[in-house]
Amino acid sequence: MKKLILIILVLFSCTLVAQSGPRKSKMKAGDAKEEIKDWSPEQRAELKTKKMALHLDLTEAQQNKIYAIELEIAKNRLAMKEKRAEKKELSSDERYEAKKKMLDAKLQIKEQYKSVLTAEQFEKWQKTHKRRKGRKSAKLEKNKN
């Protein structure tokens, strides 16, 4: 009988340890997003450039050019975000024009990247970019359901 009680006690204590809460050292996803919101366009551009430099083995000259491109992107995103905050509802024509403007900007950015990166680096960037876009759309679909 004592052995049975001891076994039950050990199993019970193991389940309590296995169900411990989240660790304090890990940052919650929501906290990380809040922190990123506070970053300036310069900070965002610098981090994105450094990530690309690590991923694509960019030269110093390429890093400077990519930083300029990313800074422009970050400033445009901030301006668009502020504009969206001011005006909630868009008419159909306004949505069309905004979408058209966004797609033109994406094409321009792609051309800028193409002029800065080597053919091999550009191909690698495109593959990574498509993969990230796929994951992002999958997350959006998951959140809709």
Name the residue ranges covered by the structural domains of the chain.
39-144
Let me know: does 47 contact 55? Beta carbons within 8 Å: no
Rounded CA-CA distance 63/53 in Å is 7
CA dist., res. 88 & res. 83, Å (int): 9
Instruction: Provide the 8-state DSSP code for 90.
Output: -
Quick one: average pLDDT of 79-100?
82
Distances 92 to 28, 35, 98, 103 between C-alpha atoms, Å: 38, 34, 10, 17
Q: What is the pTM of this model?
A: 0.65
Q: Is the pLDDT of residue 26 over 60?
A: no
| pLDDT tier at 137, thresholds 50, 70, 90 | low
Chain centroid to Cα 77, Å, comes to 13
